[in-house]
Amino acid sequence: MKNLCNVLSAAALACFTVAVQARAVGYRSPTEFIKPYKRQALQDIVTWDKDTIFVNGERLFLYSGEVHPYRLPVPDLYIDIFQKIKALGYNGVSFYVDWALLEGKPGEYREEGVFNLKPFFEAASEAGIYLLARPGPYINAEVSGGGYPGWIQRVQGLLRTRAKDYLNATDNYMANIGKTIAAAQITNGGPIILVQPENEYTNSNVKPFPDGEYMQYVEDQIRNAGVVVPLISNDASPQGHNAPGTGVGKVDIYGHDGYPVGFDCSNPTVWGDRQLVTDWYTKHLTQSPSTPFSIIEFQGGSFDPWGGPGFEKCLQLVNAQFERVFYKNLYSFGVTILNFYMTFGGTNWGNLGHPGGYTSYDYAAVIAEDRQVNREKYSEQKLQANFFKVSPAYLTASRGSASTKQFTTNPAITVTDATNNSTKFYFVRHTTYNTLDSASYKLTIQTSAFGNTTVPQYNGTSLSLNGRDSKIHVSDYDIGGKTLVYSTAEILTWHKYDDKTVLVVYGGPGETHELVLAVTGLEVLEGDVKSTATRGYTLLNFEADGTRKVAKVGVDDFVYVYMLDRNSAYNYWSVDQGPHSNADAVILKAGYLVRTAKVDGSALVLTGDVNATTPIEILGGAPSGLSKLTFNGEELDFKTSDEGVVSANVDFSKPDLKIPDLSSLDWKYINSLPEIQSSYDDSDWKDADLVKTYNSHRDLNTPKSLYSSDYGYHTGTLLYRGKFTATGAEKTFSIITQGGTAYGSSVWLNDQFLGSWKGLASEYFGTSTFNLPALTANETYTITVVIDNQGLDENWTIGTETAKNPRGIMDYNLDGHDKASVSWKLTGNLGGEDYIDKSRGPLNEGGLYAERQGLHLPGALAADAGWVDSAGPVADGLTKPGIGFFAATFDLNIPGGWDIPLSFTITNSSARAYRAQLYVNGWQYGKYVNNIGPQTRFPVPQGILDYQGTNYLAIALWGHEDGETKLGGLELGVDAVVKTGLGSVGVVKGETYQGRQGAY
């Protein structure tokens, strides 16, 4: 019966019954549910109509940011991210699950330790954030294989199609992750309100497409696991695939993506003429008119590939201007489910990334990889999200169309309106959306008070729109029972308290703005405000010149209007006291971050972060007769003004930090390429003995398969040893290796270096031909090949099977020899799919000798492993091509109560190509490729680093070329000093060094 859930409505009823019983709520007949549904609902907590979703009957704009828990393997930091997102004014987070990390071996699903999602769910609930779960099984996401475990390469059927063996391969994962998600649904008291099956089921070069049967299979997997909340889709572009309707494979709510400026950050100021879409709302009306207009991923930054320009450039491309112009365009379409990809990117630690990206997945998101929130785009996004929190009329407004004439006489300005009863929103942009020129305009608006009015009205003033800017003006806008007749200044927030109403508005630097309140009685408390008062209305006209203006309007029952310039507005916060209610929001001016605010009797308890001495001003929400004000538990002296504004100061003085100088550590060294020595014993390596590959995507060019995934090696460095008996006539050896873009490989004949493929940013395989020294007839020689696997490719277009692109040796030729006369063995990480270190998952550890031995794990220095003293990777380095492993310990003693992100910086020294991997307490937290770049700074979060103890640091250094290889520098640096309200961050438990049985 369960299998039929959501296929037939009778069965759906049965499923519904199961769900309701599961949450132990009394049975209600389905006919009692809030309507309308397109089909039978399975629960009554998350519902929707054409305008919005409802949660517990309440309409909301699901304003969401993408975060990947697996890119921040420190559970204690989840609350930090959620609070920083909540502080933005968001109410949602969307997350992918990366199957590759959870089922490294077919049939063995592990969701423990850092891969346990429960702490993520708990932190979301604590912060008051709803979740959209996106378990795939295919996710893309710039992760290895697009989320596919490497063993998917052995599946014959086409990926992401109805091929039976493919679908079977997904069953175990989907049943398990489905159960985890189901348990955390809002119907069970958890934070999950929506689930997305598949991801961008949009592009295919095989038919049938879209295949409803396939999509239905994925949906059934999710439903059968007990998921009852609505299913939402994520088309890569608005094509209407699987949108609600008749037939199989339909989702409940249709959604799509948008990345208007793409992913090349090298020309970050160029906005193409046609990158702003104008037709999405009309498409929505034809594709899915019965569901809210939903954008499941909208560009929040950009990824950056190996050799790319770096995230600083992406930060310019997707900056605050981008947010203003592109996001306000979406609001003009009436979007009410909106997720920004990414909001916090994090780190591709431990080989989890795909070859198209490097270690950092900063993404130029609003929250930086090191969790700092000092980017302007964070603040801009906060202004926007906060506005919608207090603008319920937006949710059900009818959407107008873009016009250059209706509201203004300047054709350079385009206005799109939205109307809800008499309330109107005006979304204003440049007609040539990407112009750098500013335009001045007046707006003709409709108000109940004045009919058609051209604003601003105050003598001689007009509005202006700077280049690459966009605004939202309002009229007949309710502020808690009083009417804001219109405002050209944008609204950050407002709140009606028992004793007053606080309204905070802002304008771009230097702009003139005007607002009219249907309230009379004016006292200007601060700054220069031009005003007029007529027939029950007060007009305020101001210049956003950097000085705050405050007006008190009313008699007895006052509205305090704070008029700011945008840069000052960045320092204002509206903090909800309850997880999902802004009924008692506290509005305050502070600094770097405000996390929580809570009234406790006559006390106000604040938590937050400061990076400088910070004046605080509580404009509304403090209890009257405030007795005590605390910030992160410290009591602050405060003053309360005649107007009831509370002010205080949070002091800041930097703690004394001692950050170790890494060059003076007691470094140890071990050779990590013993495999080229004649004495090396490879008897435990796997024989490359498959005459047929499992890989359905690519035939062999070699007599036996040398594809690493055929043998269970899917991650990190791969090693091959090929033995042959010489004729003495061999002159050259050629080889094609494949490791994904920017990979490298090196080849030795016995212990003699033949050469390397040094890697190129955009080449995923390479052909090398090496001259051989004179060989002696009848002697046996060993060719050792080391290949860096950059992760598996994604599988964006169905039918391309790119996730099956093999890694390893694709072909080789030894002159005078039949290929079959070379017998090969290979290894990757110790154990292959039976990976040893369960705590760090199937991908963290590759096949380097030091890794196979577990020497990257804490405690390894005590091992009898042949360590020798060394001056380290900077002073000593390697004297010749090869792979060396350097390790040392250092202590940190960073006081609690501070958030002090640290990062390792590698300085380049050499024109010779090399690559290095950084391990911190056993976690691979950086891959550096000096000849490709761009990343040189590697942030490592607290929790991976032990801030109050001993840390184990290791560097694997692989020199690709003749001559010595050294790092030019290796430093541990402080990226910020922030006094924080974040609680303590525990050190993440990982396996420590134990002698490894059977390691070779």
Residue among 61 and 341 whose Cβ is closer to ligand IPT: 341
Q: Tell me whether residue 297 or residue 961 sits nearer to ligand IPT (CB atom).
A: 297
Closest separation in Å from C-beta 139 to ligand IPT: 6
Question: 321-350: which residues touch ligand IPT (CB under 6 A)?
Answer: 341
In terms of CB distance, is 237 or 432 closer to ligand IPT? 237
We find the least distance from the C-beta atom of residue 273 to ligand IPT, in angstroms, to be: 20
The CA-based angle 538-543-546, given to 5 degrees, is: 125
> In the Cβ-directed half-sphere of 532, how many Cα atoms lie within 13 Å?
7
Whichever of 722 and 791 has its CB closer to ligand IPT, that residue is 791
- Give the nearer residue to ligand IPT in terms of CB position, either 140 or 386: 140
Stretch that binds ligand IPT, among 134-142, 389-397, 529-537, 562-570 (CB under 6 A): 134-142
Name the minimum Å distance from CB 934 to ligand IPT.
17
Does 198 engage in binding with ligand IPT (CB under 6 A)?
Answer: no
Quote the tokens at residue 384.
């926007």
Q: Which is nearer to ligand IPT, 259 or 667 (CB)?
A: 259
Residue 140 as a binder of ligand IPT (CB under 6 A): the answer is: yes
Among the residue ranges 138-146, 463-471, 581-589, 697-705, the one whose residues contact ligand IPT (CB under 6 A): 138-146
Cα distances (Å, whole numbers) of residue 681 to 675, 721, 746, 749, 1000: 8, 11, 20, 16, 8
Strands, E assignment, 675-821: 686-687, 716-725, 732-738, 745-749, 752-757, 765-771, 780-789, 808-814
| Least distance to ligand IPT, CB of residue 571, Å | 31
x-marked contacts with ligand IPT along 755-774 as a string, rule CB under 6 A: --------------------
* Cα–Cα distance list, 184 to 23, 190, 227 (Å): 11, 4, 9
141 binds ligand IPT (CB under 6 A): yes
List the interface residues with ligand IPT, window 291-310 (CB under 6 A).
297, 303
Shortest separation between residue 186's beta carbon and ligand IPT, angstroms? 24
Return the active site residues.
Answer: 200, 297
CB of 262 to ligand IPT, least distance (A): 8
Q: Which of 224/359 has CB closer to ligand IPT?
A: 359
Helix H segments across 752-900?
Answer: 849-852, 872-875
Q: Scanning residues 479 to 508, which ones bind ligand IPT (CB under 6 A)? A: none
Instruction: Give the separation between CA 239 and CA 260, rounded to whole angstroms.
Output: 16
Quote the least distance from Cβ 599 to ligand IPT, whole Å.
41
Q: Which H or E run includes 956?
A: strand 950-959
- Report DSSP state, residue 120: H
Of 638, 586, 582, 625, residue with least CA distance to 608: 586
Residue indicated by tokens 């979060």:
941
Interatomic CA distance for residues 367 and 663, integer angstroms? 31
Among 52, 199, 287, 839, binds ligand IPT (CB under 6 A): 199
Name the minimum Å distance from CB 329 to ligand IPT. Answer: 17
C-alpha 214, offset from chain centre = 28
Q: Is 360 a binder of ligand IPT (CB under 6 A)?
A: no
Candidates 104-112, 133-141, 449-457, 485-493 — which segment interacts with ligand IPT by CB under 6 A?
A: 133-141
Give the shortest CB-274-to-ligand IPT separation in angstroms.
17
Decide if residue 148 touches ligand IPT (CB under 6 A).
Answer: no
Instruction: Give CA 223 to chain center in angstroms.
Output: 26
Q: Residue 926, Cα to own-chain centre: how many angstroms?
A: 18
What is the number of the residue whose Cβ is closest to ligand IPT?
Answer: 140
**Can you state the percent helix, strand and coil of the chain, rounding each to 5?**
15, 35, 50
Nearer to ligand IPT, 142 or 675 (CB): 142
If the CB atoms of residues 80 and 297 are measured against ligand IPT, the closer one turns out to be 297
3-state secondary structure of 959: strand
The whole-angstrom separation of Cα 468 and Cα 380 is 14
Nearest residue to 624 (alpha-carbon basis) of 606, 607, 641: 641
CB of 358 to ligand IPT, least distance (A): 14
Stretch that binds ligand IPT, among 111-119, 135-143, 265-273, 496-504 (CB under 6 A): 135-143
Query: How far is the C-alpha of 549 from the C-alpha of 291, rounded, in Å?
Result: 42
Contact between 846 and 789 (Cβ < 8 Å): yes
* Beta carbon nearer to ligand IPT, 301 or 806: 301
> Least separation, in Å, of the C-beta of 115 and ligand IPT?
19
Q: Is 682 in the site for ligand IPT (CB under 6 A)?
A: no
Q: Tell me the number of residues near ligand IPT by CB under 6 A.
A: 12
The CA distance from 382 to 418, in Å, is 22
Among 51, 103, 200, 219, which residue sits at the site for ligand IPT (rule: CB under 6 A)? Answer: 200
Q: Does 204 bind ligand IPT (CB under 6 A)?
A: no
HSE, side-chain direction, 13 A CA sphere, residue 208:
9
CB of 117 to ligand IPT, least distance (A): 18
Stretch that binds ligand IPT, among 48-56, 136-144, 176-184, 881-889 (CB under 6 A): 136-144
Which residues in the 413-472 window bind ligand IPT by CB under 6 A?
A: none
Site residues (CB under 6 A) for ligand IPT, limited to 218-257: 236, 257
Q: Which of residues 589-618 bind ligand IPT (CB under 6 A)?
A: none
State the residue for tokens 């405690």: 859
Q: Tell me phi and psi for residue 151, to 5 degrees.
A: -70, -10
Token pair in block for residue 971: 């430093």
Interface residue with ligand IPT, options 51, 80, 142, 845 (CB under 6 A): 142
From 802, 803, 808, select the one nearest 788 (Cα to Cα): 808
Nearest of 641, 642, 601 to residue 623 by alpha carbon = 601
- What are residue 988's DSSP bridge partners? none
- Cβ closer to ligand IPT: 693 or 795? 795
Q: Which is nearer to ligand IPT, 53 or 141 (CB)?
A: 141
Draw the binding track, 251-290, toward ligand IPT (x: CB under 6 A; -: no contact).
Answer: ------x-x-------------------------------
3-state secondary structure of 582: coil
Of the listed pieces 140-148, 280-288, 488-496, 798-806, which binds ligand IPT according to CB under 6 A? 140-148
Write down the least CB distance from residue 136 to ligand IPT, Å: 10
Segment near ligand IPT (CB under 6 A); pick from 70-78, 137-145, 395-403, 844-852: 137-145
| Per-residue contact flags (x/-) with ligand IPT for residues 517 to 546, judged by CB under 6 A | ------------------------------
Token couple for 317: 């491309």
Burial 197-221 (b: 16+ CB within 10 A, else e): bbbbbbbbeeeeebbbebbbbbbbb
Q: How would you write 25-76 as a 3-class SS string?
A: CCCCCHHHCCCCCCCCCCCCCEEECCCCEEECCEEECEEEEEECHHHCCCHH
Closest CB to ligand IPT among residues 279, 656:
279
Two tokens, residue 997: 């049985």
Distance (Å, whole) CA 753 – CA 734: 14
Task: For the chain, count helices (H), then strands (E).
Answer: 14, 56
Q: Which residues bind ligand IPT (CB under 6 A)?
A: 139-142, 199-200, 236, 257, 259, 297, 303, 341
